[in-house]
A and B are shown apart, each in its own frame.
Chain A
Amino acid sequence: MDFVGDPTLDRSRPETLPVTMPRSRAIRAPTTASLPSNLRIPSSTSSLVKTFGKLTRQALLDLVFQWLEDGNVQHFAPYLQADEGGKRDEDGDDDGLRPYPAERTINGVRNAYQELQFRKGGKREVIDRILEGDWRHGITLRQLAMVDMRYMDDHPSGLRWTALELARIDNSSSNESSACIPRVHASTFLSSLQQQISPLVKAHYHLARSTSLPLTVLRVFVTTSPYQIAPRQSVESLTDSSRTIYVAFPDSCPFFYTSMASPQTASKTSPAPPNSLVATDARSLQRLVRDAIPKALSLPHQRYTVKPTSLTAKSLEALLALRGPGRSNQANGAFSIFADAALEGSPLDPRPSKTVSPEEYNRQSASVHFKDTAGKENTATDAKDVTLENKRASKRSFADPKDAGTSKKRTLALQSRFGTSGTLSSAPLDRLDVRLLDALPGDAKPTEHAQQPTVSLTFAGTDVIGGIRKLAELGVIDAERMPSWMTGEEGVSVVVVREGRRVTKAGR
């Protein structure tokens, strides 16, 4: 069963791999093995400084302490005096010249970094200490992967992610229980993924759990050489970030996210024929990995395929909200009141639901509703007054924007159209591409289908839907008449619209 996948046992896996450094002098033959985790990149590689420099000082120190933990230290062995043994005769006693003399024991290394922890200073001294001192014999691929992972944890919006859906190919015989969600068993999945990819490219795999989000992240580093050890001149390519592909698996839902270079090329047809394999650009390598994932997840009689979900965003939180394990996948925009359960409380709550604010239902209110506690007793009647007033206000002309009634009306319209999205929950989209297929008003010739002009709109910013809400709040957009895709109801970043409604048929 799954026990080989236990992290406690997994830790011992890299140990069994052969030490590969000596083999480089022997015959190099192309193999299908994956790049070993303990493959060392020379510390003198200049791009390593850049890679490490992305992290903060504290993050670097945390990583070092993680490497030096008792369970991990054999995989990330620092350079000790014992390693110097043979060298000392050749180099002579130049210890005094080196800025960081080798420590005698692992505890000594730990103490050195503890000292750095307590002292204030720049991160440069930590990087120098790592590269020129304790890991002067090289940084392993695994260490590099951990640095990248840590960077991603600290900067969840650093990459652009595309959400894809896993679907069963044969759905006729669905078993009685739930779950179209495949059970991922880490090492089996990785080995079958490797089987898929290895005839084409050589890769290094690193699977880790995100510390800040409910995600399991797979980092795949792809090289094009089939040889075990990259030639010396291509050492720089081992730190090339465009050859790194991230795949994030959220917990318990049939989606996964890939960090893709371009969302537009996510072909909606079947996977492209592998004629572009000669091309070694980053995009085709990424497609290679993405196409291999459903095959690696598949089991006998349980084949998966990938469906596009037309959602690409920078923020992982947005992806988790819109294609995640929670309640808000299919309830956004106006329907976010249902996702946040802001409409009504538990059936044991004696308060009529109109008198309770959504914030209270969500138990997130700290001091929001404090200001209007004065007349709480009469809120029910107040609410009625408000609706009456609004009916009156709606009869008034829209011309006077300073009228309090109008802004109240606008607020109500805003609340009904956008629900709680943007206030209680937020899924910031950084880009929204819209294609309008409607005929221009005036020339009504539906027969000339091909001649119709299409209008494409692209919204970009930190939070597109939030921005549209702001505009509606200011009265620039009429909240009542705008189509539903503007409220983020569809939960997509690429949308094709006809007559204000989303059209989902693929292939246009």
Chain B
Amino acid sequence: MSTPSPNTEEETESLDSEISTIRAELKALHHRRRILTNSLLTSRPLQRLAKSHPPQTTATIAGTPPKWPDLSPLLHTSARHADLNHHRIAFSTTAFPFTDPAPGPSAAKNLLGVRIDICARDGSYVKPYYILLRRVGLHTPNNEAERQQQQQQQQQQQTGARGRGNRVLCVHRHTVPAVVDLGALERVYLPRAKAADAVGEEGEGEGEQQHEKEEAAPRKPWKHQPRKQNLRGFLREVRRQLVVWHVRCDGVRYLRERLGVVRRGADSDEENGVWERDVLAEDPIQETKIAKNALGIVALGATALEAVYVRVEWEDGRVGRFKISNAGLVERAVVMGDNGRDKLMEAVMTGGNGRLETLLDRLRKSAAESKVSAAASVEDGASQTASEA
């Protein structure tokens, strides 16, 4: 007797897939509900209402049942979160206190965190960059003074990052990628009194401090007059370099998107053309190529993660490279063909207003012009031959 097992298997499979789709939908709805709830809680009218009736909640304890019994802590956290978000959006660089969970003296555990938020091209924010700064206790091993300093530091942390005189900071941990040379910036803006460069930037805690003390003792202190640390300048420079880097990356991505990007295997089956890996793509292993376009560009991409140099390749074998300046201009361009340099193309790339974003427009315009002039010369030639005849 034949059992209907294939049928039931099919049924269970279809049921399983149905269940998984429903679960996914449920999850999406839950997510949406959370977003909406929290948006509602942070909304201005509700917050205003809550602020205007603060005594009501205390009054209700005595007598009548409260209107929103569970809401006030929620409202409070939401308000604080909204405040934080507003600060992050408005100032881009914000400070926060952080305590190192490692065991040790409490003075060494208090860190000053700095968060840098950068808005990308599509209006979303990239993952925030963090810099955690540690105080280098050079001045007073005295306990009393240390405690005072610590209190002072905590006050400063609450009021925000202010560059004060007698506080020596160094970068403890950070998440800034190697594209921005944080070590060099630290040496410039946050100099420490001793020859800290020789010790290295990775030095941690007491061990290094003892070393510095040992090393410092025989030296002449008046000869190494320490420069003042400039925390604001340091953060400003770090943020500027990060923003500039993101602007460059966004510019190159924008150019690629305008030309059209085809992914290998996913979008098309054809194998011909220049397949490359884009270093700036989210999935750098995926091979992509530039879609067929009127400009004849077959490849365009940043040469490295820094996105300072961009490499262009044309159908006819010409290869070009241009440099993006910190202001987003095409600073220099070199185009090489089989017969040497193509100075005309270089002039077109750096010409006009020089903006990276309008590069393709300039190329198109020059292509159209050359077509017109070619047509004109053909006409000229035709008329000449006609006149000669």
Contacts and interface: CB of A to CB of B under 8 A. Distances in A.
Interface in B305-328: 305-306, 308-309, 311, 313, 319, 321, 326
A77 interface: no
A370 to B, nearest CB: 6
A433 interface: no
A292 B388 CA distance: 69
A350 B178 contact: no
A132 B73 CA distance: 79
Contacts of A377: 34, 37
A498 B84 CA distance: 39
A505 interface: yes
A250 B49 CA distance: 55
A404 B177 CA distance: 41
B305 A330 contact: no
Contacts of A331: 130, 173-175
A252 B37 CA distance: 43
A354 B38 CA distance: 12
Interface of A is mostly: loop
B74 A327 contact: no
Contacts of B343: none
A40 to B, nearest CB: 30
Q: Which residue, of B130, B284, B285, B326, has the highest number of chain A Cβ atoms within 10 A?
A: B130
B127 A381 contact: no
Contacts of B104: 500-501
A384 to B, nearest CB: 7
A252 B200 CA distance: 21
A481 B103 contact: yes
B42 interface: yes
Contacts of A253: 177-178
A118 interface: no
Nearest to A379: B34
A430 B358 CA distance: 50
A265 interface: no
A169 interface: no
Contact of A335 (B41, B173, B183): B173
B204 A504 contact: yes
Interface in A254-285: 254-255
Nearest to A324: B178
Interface string B192-204: 0000010110111
Nearest to B78: A352
A344 interface: yes
Contacts of B127: 327, 341
B180 interface: yes
A16 interface: no
B369 interface: no
A178 B305 contact: no
A380 B207 contact: no
B30 interface: yes
A236 interface: no
A326 B180 CA distance: 11
A180 B201 CA distance: 15
A303 to B, nearest CB: 16
Interface residues of A, number: 74
Contacts of A341: 127-128, 175
A355 B321 CA distance: 48
B166 interface: no
Contacts of A254: 178
A381 B35 contact: no
B39 interface: yes
B92 to A, nearest CB: 9
Nearest to A415: B101
Contact of A325 (B197, B305, B313): B305
Nearest to B90: A347
B98 to A, nearest CB: 9
Contacts of B279: 214, 251-252
A113 to B, nearest CB: 17
B140 interface: no
Interface stretch (A1-9, A42-50, A461-469): A1-9
Interface residues of B, number: 80
Contact of B100 (A252, A334, A350, A354): A334
A264 B152 CA distance: 45
Contacts of B77: 352, 354, 380
Contacts of A376: 30, 33-34
A148 B305 CA distance: 27
Contacts of A347: 84-85, 88-89, 117, 125
Given A347-B89, A500-B102, A1 B334 contact: yes
A355 B176 CA distance: 26
Contact of B181 (A180, A325, A381, A502): A180
A417 B174 CA distance: 17
A353 interface: yes
B184 interface: yes
Given A352-B81, A504-B199, A338 B132 contact: yes
Interface in B65-103: 70, 73-74, 77-78, 80-82, 84-85, 88-89, 100-103
B321 A330 contact: no
A350 B336 contact: no
A351 B34 contact: yes
A329 interface: yes
Contacts of B183: 180
A501 B173 contact: no
A253 B37 CA distance: 43
Contact of A504 (B102, B184, B200, B336): B200
B101 A350 contact: no
Interface in B158-196: 171, 173-181, 183-184, 187-188
Contact of A381 (B73, B178, B188, B205): B73
B61 to A, nearest CB: 18
B211 interface: yes
Given A327-B177, A334-B100, A370 B27 contact: yes
B208 interface: yes
Nearest to A339: B175
A339 B181 CA distance: 17
B13 interface: no
A302 interface: no
Contacts of A325: 177-179, 305
A183 B30 CA distance: 49
B241 interface: yes
Given A178-B306, A338-B173, A484-B102, A350 B35 contact: yes
A114 interface: no
A378 B124 contact: no
Nearest to A365: B27
A51 B215 CA distance: 54
A252 B181 CA distance: 11
B25 interface: no
Given A346-B124, A353-B81, A498-B207, A327 B175 contact: yes
Interface in A160-192: 171, 174, 177-181, 183
B365 interface: no
Contacts of B38: 350-352
B23 interface: yes
A252 B178 contact: yes
7 contacts: A171-B184, A177-B308, A327-B176, A348-B124, A350-B39, A376-B33, A417-B101
Which 8 pairs from chain A and chain B are nearest by CB? Answer: A252-B305, A341-B127, A253-B178, A484-B102, A347-B88, A346-B125, A501-B205, A503-B207
Interface of A: 1-3, 6, 8, 171, 174, 177-181, 183, 209, 211-212, 214, 251-255, 324-331, 334-335, 338-339, 341, 344, 346-355, 367, 370, 373, 376-378, 380-381, 384, 413, 416-417, 480-484, 487, 489-490, 498-505
Given A171-B184, A500-B104, 6 more contacts: A8-B319, A180-B184, A253-B177, A330-B174, A344-B128, A350-B81
